[in-house]
Structure 1
Amino acid sequence: MQRIIGLMSGTSVDGIDAVLVDISGTERDLAVDLIAFETYAYRPALRQQILAVCAGSPLSVEALATLDNAIAQAFAEAAIAIQAEQSLKADLIGSHGQTVFHRPPQAGQLGYSLQLGRGEVIARATGTKTASNFRAADIAVGGQGAPLVPKIDLCLLSHPTQWRCVQNLGGIGNVAVLPPLDSEPELGQGVRGWDTGPSNVLLDLAVSRFTQGQQTYDAGGQWAARGAICQPLVERWLHQPFFQQSPPKSTGRELFGPAYLQACLEDARAYQLGQADVLATLTELTAASIVQSYRQSLEAMPDRVLLCGGGSRNTYLRERIQVLLGDAIPVTTTDDAGVNADAKEAIAFAVLAHWRVLGIPGNLPSATGAAQSVLLGDIHTPWTASG
């Protein structure tokens, strides 16, 4: 058994999710015991700098290096804090870092994905072996570098007889499609995964804009629930090329960011939509894009959908997904399957670190499009100035 910290911050850039877990087993016998989960907010100035870079703000190499170290230090502080709060010491840290740029493979060229928060800085600051930079190895063999979670979902959330979709609702949405374990002779056979499109990112940007930064998200979807959905707009937006692509596919703020929101707001003016109507319509885009991607890419719809990530707490979004899927497909959260829905993504990077030190490949080519399974992550061993 290993005691591991998992660290990650997603495209919402709302803070660093940290878990402290005990992990035993390898793949089919993988077991994760969640000891603690916390979200540590970025300092406001650091968060604004990250958001500016994600939005394409130019940055000198020197400034990039400074930002890289500042993010790493924030991640290290989160790791130190969660251990101190539990009076426990971890054996290993798995850090996803902070994605600031993601470009999928295109025209025969490898993709590119940049996560800031250097693992060697985290290892030095915490005195703990650290695995980081998990996407690079998958990209190097032709993969999207995303989503990386389907293999973990397979090991922790599969059902003996049900087809399940595990739908993450972070800034960007992604799905893992899990076949019944009883029908899977080989681990990973039949598993698929892809990014479904925007989840919280456009909603959060809109709320921040409507409130001049006083609010950063629509708690529970209460604001959106007061609005009216503009269906013609949803149907128009669903014709965006990303939604028509076949998996494997991935995306990020480079596509679904401030410029995309601005275009949506300009479209909405023709329908004289109020702010609540805009939020309701953007919420419907998220729900409809998820359901459309299932119908386009799956031979049959799943028996159950399990939601996770921050958007799983958005009651209105969850209701809209349920309505569009129909009552025959229950929509619940991974909480109901024994995995904390808020902590699941951070847990995933703890598991990936566990697999990395054991020499177990972490990607699924059927989800990322990679040419082969590979070890994910770079290992950094702590050292001291005195040697």
Structure 2
Amino acid sequence: MKVIGLMSGTSVDGIDAALVEIGGTTLDLRVELLAGATYPYPAELRSQILAVCGGAKLSMLELAELDDAIAGCFAKAAMAIQADLPAATLIGSHGQTVFHRPTTPGAMGYSLQIGRGELIAALAQITTIDNFRAADIAAGGQGAPLVPKPDAYMLSHPREHRCIQNIGGIGNVAYLPPNSQPDWERQICGWDTGPGNSLLDLAVAHLSDGKLTFDRDGAWAATGSVCVRLVAKWLAQDYFRAAPPKSTGRELFGAEYLHACMADATADRLSDADLLATLTDFTASSIADSYHRFLPRLPDRILLCGGGSRNLYLHRRLQHHLPKIEIATTDDAGINGDYKEAIAFAVLAYWREREIPGNLPTATGAKQAVLLGDVHHLQ
């Protein structure tokens, strides 16, 4: 089956679209990327999304219009990615997260992704599956991270203990023990490690007066010096000490959090480059710290994906904190790191169509494995 995966993360960089051919089910899963591309949001729409993620108030009419606008962009991305290629018969759309409230003891979580699947299906004329997080949350889970199960069947190894570390706006990890071990799936775990690019991108936009949206290759940060004392202070935040399963988003690691970090940096007289170096190390340190705290053992290899995997300075800082572990990218294991998350949602849609549960309770905290996603067939 040819499936299109659509994903826009917390960085709101644009819509990642992946056209993939999928066969098999789980242990025999076969995934081939036929085409991948990122389609930027119009600047005004991106600004509106970021404002809403930052807590801006909307009327119901404005929310409906934003929902429609995002769905329209997702549908255009789906149609564009398969131009001159064999047509897909299914779309798996993550949508755009605008709010995420983690599940806590005694209180069900809430996660809102807009860009409604029924409109994508109508515009693209392809059956669309969306709203993947709701069923896991209803089963008592966090609704995140959802990629550990696709990761497990695309990227596990018969002998290696691996961590698949996505660094998007938020970082998340999937720990994969060797798949030759008995009952290996029950040993998989995963969680949101904390900030990925979210604070860095906000800082770069602020320091460049909006001329830049990210620090390409980490080149700006690489000219600065890390303030170790501030990194240690920021790591004392409660989220990093909380045991998995856990999830987070811009609601915690967003503009307000950055303002506090910048106030600390000003008090310590850090230069702009020093601030970026320190924020970069904060992301790397939060990943390494969570591995030491919560993994059953350190991995043999870490495979990076997402936009942060292209940040050379961030890669160096992570290697600094985990010196004995080989760090590569998912590209080295045959899965394109730029589109790995979009590919994962194509797989989740494929599994939903075949009535195969898509969540891993060991990663999300759900009471049981459940079917993920709402199916919108063509009328």
1:222 aligns with 2:219: yes
Offset of residue 313 of structure 1 = 0.2
Residue 27 (structure 2) aligns with? 28
Query: 1:102 is matched with which residue: 100, 114, 133?
Result: 100
Asked whether 1:276 is paired with 2:258, we answer: no
Residues in 2 aligned to 1:346 and 1:138: alpha-carbon distance in whole angstroms: 19
Aligned to 1:75: 74
CA distance in 2, matches of 1:278, 1:74: 35
Show CA shifts across 1:326-356 (max 9, x none).
1x21000000111001010000000000000
Q: Distance in 1 between matches of 2:357 and 2:300?
A: 28
Counterpart in the other structure of 1:305: 302
Gaps of 5+ in 1: none
CA distance in 2, matches of 1:366, 1:38: 32
Who is 1:209 aligned against?
206
Q: Distance in 1 between matches of 2:185 and 2:69?
A: 37
| Aligned residues of 2:41 and 2:73 also touching (Cα < 8 A) | yes
Q: Secondary structure at the residue paired with 2:82? A: helix
SS of the residue corresponding to residue 315 of structure 2 reads helix
Aligned counterpart for 1:196 among listed residues 193, 196, 200: 193
Instruction: Supply the distance in 1 between the matched residues of 2:297 and 2:371 (Cα, whole angstroms).
Output: 32
Structure 1 residue aligned with 2:237 = 240
Pick the aligned partner of 2:165 from 161, 164, 167.
167
Q: Which amino acid aligns with 1:288?
A: S
In the alignment, which residue of structure 2 is the partner of 1:377?
A: 373
Q: How far does the alpha carbon of each residue in 1:150-197 deviate from its partner, in whole angstroms, 9 at most, with x for none? A: 0011101111111100000000000000001111x2362200000000
Task: Give the secondary-structure state (helix, strand or coil) at the position aligned to 1:90.
Answer: coil
Query: Partners in 2 of 1:144 and 1:299 — Cα distance?
Result: 21
Rounded to whole Å, the distance in 1 between the matches of 2:308 and 2:76 is 26
Deviations 1:339-378 (A, max 9, x none): 0010100000000000000000000000000000000000
Paired residue secondary structure (1:39): strand
2:136 matches 1:149:
no
Distance in 2 between residues matched to 1:233 and 1:278, nearest whole Å: 10
After the TM superposition, which segments of 4 or more aligned residues of structure 1 sit over 2 Å from their partners? none
- After superposition, the CA RMSD in angstroms is 0.7
Give the length in aligned residue pairs: 379
Q: Deviations 1:263-286 (Å, cap 9, x if unpaired)?
A: 000011121000000000000000
Residue 247 of structure 1 aligns with an amino acid whose one-letter code is P
Corresponding residue for residue 54 of structure 1: 53
Write the distance in 2 (CA, Å) between the matches of 1:106 and 1:35.
40
Percentage identity across aligned positions? 62
Secondary structure in structure 2 of the residue aligned to 1:182: coil
Indicate the SS of the match to 1:291. helix
1: CA distance between counterparts of 2:223 and 2:246? Answer: 33
Q: For residues 187 and 76 of structure 1, what CA distance do their matches in structure 2 show?
A: 38
1:255 and 1:226 map into 2 onto residues whose CA distance is: 28
C-alpha contact 2:6 2:94 (8 A) present in aligned 1? yes
Q: What residue number does 2:117 align with?
A: 119
SS of 1:212's equivalent?
A: coil
CA distance in 2, matches of 1:241, 1:263: 15
SS in 2 for 1:189: helix
- How does the TM-score come out when normalised to structure 2? 0.99
Which ranges in structure 2 are unaligned for 5 or more consecutive residues? none
The answer to whether structure 1 residue 5 and structure 2 residue 4 are counterparts is yes
Counterpart residue number, 2:327 = 331
Q: Which secondary structure does the structure 2 equivalent of 1:382 belong to?
A: coil
Q: Distance in 2 between matches of 1:190 and 1:347?
A: 23
- In the other structure, the counterpart of 1:39 is 38
**Aligned residue for 1:182?**
180
Give 1:90 deviation, angstroms. Answer: 0.5
Distance 2:186 2:11 in 1: 32
| Residues in 2 aligned to 1:206 and 1:87: alpha-carbon distance in whole angstroms | 40
Q: What is the deviation of 1:60?
A: 0.7
CA distance in 2, matches of 1:88, 1:73: 22
State the alpha-carbon separation in 1 of the partners of residues 315 and 109 from structure 2: 32
Distance 2:296 2:124 in 1: 47
Query: Counterpart of 1:300 in structure 2: which amino acid?
Result: R
Separation in 2, partners of 1:299, 1:19: 33
Q: Distance in 2 between matches of 1:107 and 1:189?
A: 23
Distance in 2, Cα, partners of 1:124 & 1:105? 33
SS of 1:302 mapped into structure 2: coil
Which residue number in structure 2 is paired with residue 345 of structure 1? 341
Given the alignment of the two structures, is residue 357 of structure 1 paired with residue 356 of structure 2, yes or no?
no
Write the distance in 1 (CA, Å) between the matches of 2:74 and 2:357.
Answer: 25
Q: Could you report, residue by residue, the CA deviation over 1:32-74 in whole angstroms, capped at 9, with x for unpaired residues? A: 0100000000000110110000000000111101100110000
Check the 8 A contact 2:25/2:351 in 1, yes or no: yes
